[in-house]
Chains A and B, each alone.
Chain A
Amino acid sequence: MALNDIQKKILAEVADLHKVPMGAYNFRINGATESRNTTANIDIRSKADGSGIDIHIMPGTKNESVHIPVVLSKSGLKETVYNDFYVGEGADVTIVAGCGIDNCGNQDSQHDGIHRFFVERGAKVRYVEKHYGSGDGSGKRILNPVTEVYMDEDSHMEMEMAQIKGVDSTVRSTIAEMKKGSSLIVRERLMTHGVQNAVSTYKVSLLEEGATADVVSRSVARDSSTQKFDACIAGFAPCKGHTECDSIIMDNGTILAVPSLEARHVDAALVHEAAIGKIAGEQLIKLMTLGLTEHEAEEEIINGFLA
Chain B
Amino acid sequence: MLELKNISFSVKSEDGKTKDIIRNLNLTVKDRTFTVITGPNGSGKTTLAKLIAGIEKPTGGKILLDGQDITDMDITDRAKAGIGFAFQAPVRFKGITVYDLLRIASGKKITPSAACEYLSEVGLCARDYISREANASLSGGEIKRIEIATVLARQSRLSVFDEPEAGIDLWSFQNLIRVFRSMREKINDSSMIIISHQERILEIADEIAVLADGTIEKYGKKEDIFPTLIGTEAAQETCTRLR
What is A's interface to B at a CB cutoff of 8 Å?
218, 246, 280, 282-283, 285-294, 300-301, 303-307
Partner of A285, one of B75, B93, B96, B105: B75
**Chain A residues closer than 8 Å to B140, beta-carbon distance:** none
Nearest CB on A from B94, distance (A): 6
Who on chain A is nearest to B53 by CB?
A289
Who on chain B is nearest to A280 by CB?
B91
Q: A289-B85, A305-B94 given. 5 additional CB < 8 A pairs?
A: A285-B55, A290-B101, A290-B105, A290-B154, A304-B96
Partner of B104, one of A246, A287, A307: A287
Partner of B93, one of A218, A246, A291, A304: A304
**Chain B residues closer than 8 Å to A282, beta-carbon distance:** 91
Nearest CB on A from B190, distance (A): 16
Interface size on B, residues (CB 8 A): 26
B107 within 8 A of A: yes
Partner of B76, one of A294, A303, A304: A294
- Asked whether B75 lies within 8 Å of A289 as measured between CB atoms, the reply is yes
B191 within 8 A of A: no
What's the Cα separation between A280 and B91 when bound, in Å?
9
Known contacts A283-B91, A304-B95; is-contact A290 B104 (Cβ 8 Å):
yes
- Asked whether B95 lies within 8 Å of A305 as measured between CB atoms, the reply is yes
Within 8 A of A (CB), among B47-90: 53, 55, 74-76, 79-80, 83-85, 87, 90
- Asked whether B87 lies within 8 Å of A286 as measured between CB atoms, the reply is yes
Partner of A286, one of B80, B90, B94, B97: B90
Of listed A282, A287, A293, A306, residue having the most chain B CB within 10 A: A287
What's the Cα separation between A35 and B94 when bound, in Å?
41
Known contacts A285-B55, A291-B79; is-contact A300 B96 (Cβ 8 Å):
yes
Query: Per-residue 0/1 for B117-151: is the Cβ within 8 Å of any A Cβ (1 yes, 0 no)?
Result: 00000000000000001000000000000000010
Q: Which 9 A-B pairs have the closest CB atoms?
A: A304-B96, A304-B95, A288-B75, A291-B79, A282-B91, A305-B95, A290-B105, A289-B85, A288-B76
Within 8 A of A (CB), among B170-227: none
- Asked whether A304 lies within 8 Å of B105 as measured between CB atoms, the reply is no
What's the Cα separation between A286 and B75 when bound, in Å?
9
What's the Cα separation between A304 and B98 when bound, in Å?
11
What's the Cα separation between A290 and B87 when bound, in Å?
12
- Asked whether A291 lies within 8 Å of B107 as measured between CB atoms, the reply is yes
B165 within 8 A of A: no
Listed by A's residue number, 29 A-B pairs whose Cβ atoms lie within 8 Å are A246-B94, A285-B55, A285-B91, A286-B87, A288-B76, A288-B79, A289-B53, A289-B55, A289-B75, A289-B83, A290-B104, A290-B105, A290-B150, A290-B154, A291-B76, A291-B79, A291-B80, A291-B104, A291-B107, A291-B154, A292-B76, A293-B76, A300-B96, A300-B100, A304-B95, A304-B97, A304-B100, A305-B95, A305-B96
What's the Cα separation between A289 and B95 when bound, in Å?
19
Nearest CB on A from B70, distance (A): 14
What's the Cα separation between A291 and B53 when bound, in Å?
11
- Asked whether A289 lies within 8 Å of B79 as measured between CB atoms, the reply is yes
- Asked whether B75 lies within 8 Å of A307 as measured between CB atoms, the reply is no
Nearest CB on B from A296, distance (A): 8
Who on chain B is nearest to A295 by CB?
B76
**Chain B residues closer than 8 Å to A280, beta-carbon distance:** 91
